[in-house]
Amino acid sequence: MTEALETPVQADAWLQRFHAGESATIAALYREHYETVDRAASGLLRGADRETVVHEVFYRVVSNAGFRQSFQGGNLGAWLATVARNLATDHVRAQQRQKAVPLDEAGELPEPTADRFAEAADARRLIDRFRAEVLPKKWEKVFQVRFLEQRDQRDAAAQLGMARTTLAYQELRIRGLLKKFLLRGGAP
């Protein structure tokens, strides 16, 4: 723990201050356990991704009373390291889901034919109708970057200057609109 706790009474008092989110207790915890959390995250991540996970751990400690309540005593460093490793694992999994298949691994592109050009023209007209008749203007940029340019969420969010969670929410809503539009056969 962040203090030398010699008795169960002292440990209980510290835990109560921690659960209450007392700023001096949280500050001492941060100073004492920053390196522990950083090491735990660095087992899976580097650079900005590692820093994001480290900050997320301490953000939860500072801002989420329910999160603090989940620690009921014991080895605080081990608990924080476990939280950091779990968040880092989740972060790695999310990155892997977002990676697009590189073009050289996707296989050869089909030879262009008159039929393929006609299909592409039909698809372009359908997309243009969806954008004009259904897609809200406020989601136009997300549609362009994620659906047409097929950028991964991290790049798209950075390009648009928005949080990935905001982008993911808008993307989900766009998918729903697109699905309804296509199930109606592209009818308005």
* pLDDT tens-place string over residues 120-141: 788 888 888 999 999 999 999 9
DSSP string, the chain: --S---SHHHHHHHHHHHHHT-HHHHHHHHHHHHHHHHHHHHTT--HHHHHHHHHHHHHHHHH-HHHHHT--SS-HHHHHHHHHHHHHHHHHHHHHHHPPPPTTTS-PPPPP-HHHHHHHHHHHHHHHHHHHHTS-GGGHHHIIIIIIS---HHHHHHHHTS-HHHHHHHHHHHHHHHHHHHHTTT--
* Gap between the Cα atoms of 55 and 37, Å rounded: 9
* Gap between the Cα atoms of 107 and 101, Å rounded: 10
**pLDDT tens by residue, 26-75:** 999 999 999 999 999 999 998 888 998 999 999 999 999 999 999 998 89
Q: How far is CA 138 from CA 97, 142, 145, 157, 177, in A?
A: 26, 9, 13, 15, 14
Domains and CATH numbers, the chain: 8-98 (1.10.1740.10), 114-183 (1.10.10)
Instruction: Determine the pLDDT at residue 13.
Output: 92
Q: Is the pLDDT of residue 93 over 70?
A: yes
Q: How far is CA 110 from CA 106, 113, 117, in A?
A: 11, 9, 12
With contact defined as beta carbons under 8 Å apart, do 133 and 184 qualify?
A: no
Instruction: Determine the pLDDT at residue 67.
Output: 93
Instruction: Determine the pLDDT at residue 3.
Output: 47
CA nearest to 88, candidates 117, 112, 55? 55
- Looking at residue 99, its amino acid is K
Question: What dihedral angle (degrees, nearest 10) is formed by the CA atoms of 124, 160, 109, 178?
Answer: -40
With contact defined as beta carbons under 8 Å apart, do 123 and 81 qualify?
A: no
| Band of residue 23 on the pLDDT scale cut at 50, 70, 90 | very high
Instruction: Determine the pLDDT at residue 123.
Output: 82
Q: Say what percent of the chain tops pLDDT 70.
A: 87
More confident residue, 96 or 32: 32
